[in-house]
Amino acid sequence: MLVRLEPREWLMIGHGVLALFACIVAGSIIVEIQLNQLTYWLDFVQVFNLRRVAEGAYLAYVLGTEYYIKAAWQVGTIAATSRSLDVTLLGFGVNLPTQVSFDASLALDFVQTAWKQGLEYAYVGKRYLSECWADYRPYLRLLLQQVK
């Protein structure tokens, strides 16, 4: 009769199969290397080989078949200089300055001059209104007495 295996037993079987697979692959690679050295046929590995061709691109040989694998695609770049940060995304570029400087002295001079002139005009206006008030005050009292 068949008896159910416990998880520890399944784990032991899995380890054994994995070790057998590793031995077979390592043995195949060793045999292939030895045959290539004996026959001077060192063009490429026949069982398994993976190498990096460029950044984000890999070339794999599996059982004599070549596969090109692209793991990353460039969609943008970021470049930093001492004065700006250049961001390019999907062909569109943006240049961001890292330090913004502008000269506000002209605007501040204008505001300061306007403030001084405003104070002068306010003083002149106050003096003019006080003179007018002194001149027309008796007439306004007389008018208010007649209205009551």
- Please give the full DSSP string across 12-35, using - where no structure is assigned: HHHHHHHHHHHHHHHHHHHHHHHH
Whether the CB-CB separation of 57 and 68 falls below 8 Å is answered with yes
Joined tokens for residue 147: 């209205």
Average pLDDT, the chain: 85
Give the CA distances from residue 55 to residues 59, 75, 119, 141, in Å, rounded to whole numbers and listed in that order. 11, 14, 69, 95
Mind listing the pLDDT tens digit for each residue in 58-84?
888 777 788 888 877 778 888 888 888
pLDDT of residue 121: 94
Q: Where are the beta strands (DSSP E) in the chain?
A: 48-54, 57-62, 65-70, 76-80, 84-89, 92-97
pLDDT recorded at residue 45: 53
Task: Copy the structure tokens of residue 62.
Answer: 């599996």
Q: pLDDT class for 117, splitting at 50, 70, 90?
A: very high
Q: Under the phi-then-psi rule, with left for phi > 0, alpha for psi from -120 to 50, and beta for the rest, what region is 91?
A: left
Give dist(CA 20, CA 33) in Å, integer: 20
Q: Is the pLDDT confidence value at 50 over 80?
A: no
User: What separation in angstroms does the CA of 133 have from each of 8, 40, 76, 125, 144?
Assistant: 108, 118, 74, 12, 15
Q: Which amino acid is residue 22, in one-letter code?
A: A
